[in-house]
Amino acid sequence: MEINLFIRFFVEKNLMMKIKQLLFGVTLLTLLLTSCSTTQSVVDLPKQQDVQQSKRGKKKQINALIKYAKRYKGVPYKYAGKGPKNFDCSGFTRFVFKHIGYTLPGYSRGQATKGKKVATKKIKKGDLVFFTGRKTGNRVGHVGLVISANKQSFEFIHASLKGVKINRYPTDTYYKKHFKFARRIIP
């Protein structure tokens, strides 16, 4: 008789566990299905007003970047200088982009892999421009930040051997000869 009670207790306990597992599964499935139905708002296209505000925000961010970069005009060059008392070219661009929340590698060839490549005629303020260096052959060895641009030319600020300064492409023949490409970091 005690064996029968034991078997009956075991079967009932097993049945209760199965029911609990089934209820848990149904509850979980219900939660998943109802949470998926809220994704509609995530997929909605942005309103025109939101797009315009986003463009204005990006423009303000780029203008703040350029204004901040210009504050360091005249700061001396130092190999591997990361700022703010001295800079090398990639240390300078990394330093000013960090001010607006972007993290770039600490060397020009690493920065040359970030963002989106931009055609020379489509270069805009805020883009990075890359050049071959004095000792790098055909490889990237120098970087600067575009501060103004049109389809024919652009001005860029960079840490040169003479310190942080502004040059113009293609007017400055050295940089015209060494120009490689541009990349857009701020989308």
Supply φ then ψ for residue 135, to 5 degrees. -120, 15
The pLDDT, as a whole number, for residue 18 is: 67
Strand extents, DSSP E, the chain: 116-118, 128-132, 140-149, 154-160, 163-169, 179-184
Q: Which two tokens stand for residue 137?
A: 């052959």
Strand extents, DSSP E, 20-61: none
Question: What are the structural domains, with CATH classification, of the chain?
Answer: 78-184 (3.90.1720.10)
The pLDDT, as a whole number, for residue 22 is: 57
SS3 (DSSP) at 187: coil
The pLDDT, as a whole number, for residue 12 is: 60
pTM: 0.72
The pLDDT, as a whole number, for residue 9 is: 52
The type of residue at 130 is F
In the predicted model, residues of the chain with pLDDT beneath 70 are 1-53
The pLDDT, as a whole number, for residue 38 is: 31
Strand extents, DSSP E, 81-162: 116-118, 128-132, 140-149, 154-160
The pLDDT, as a whole number, for residue 54 is: 73
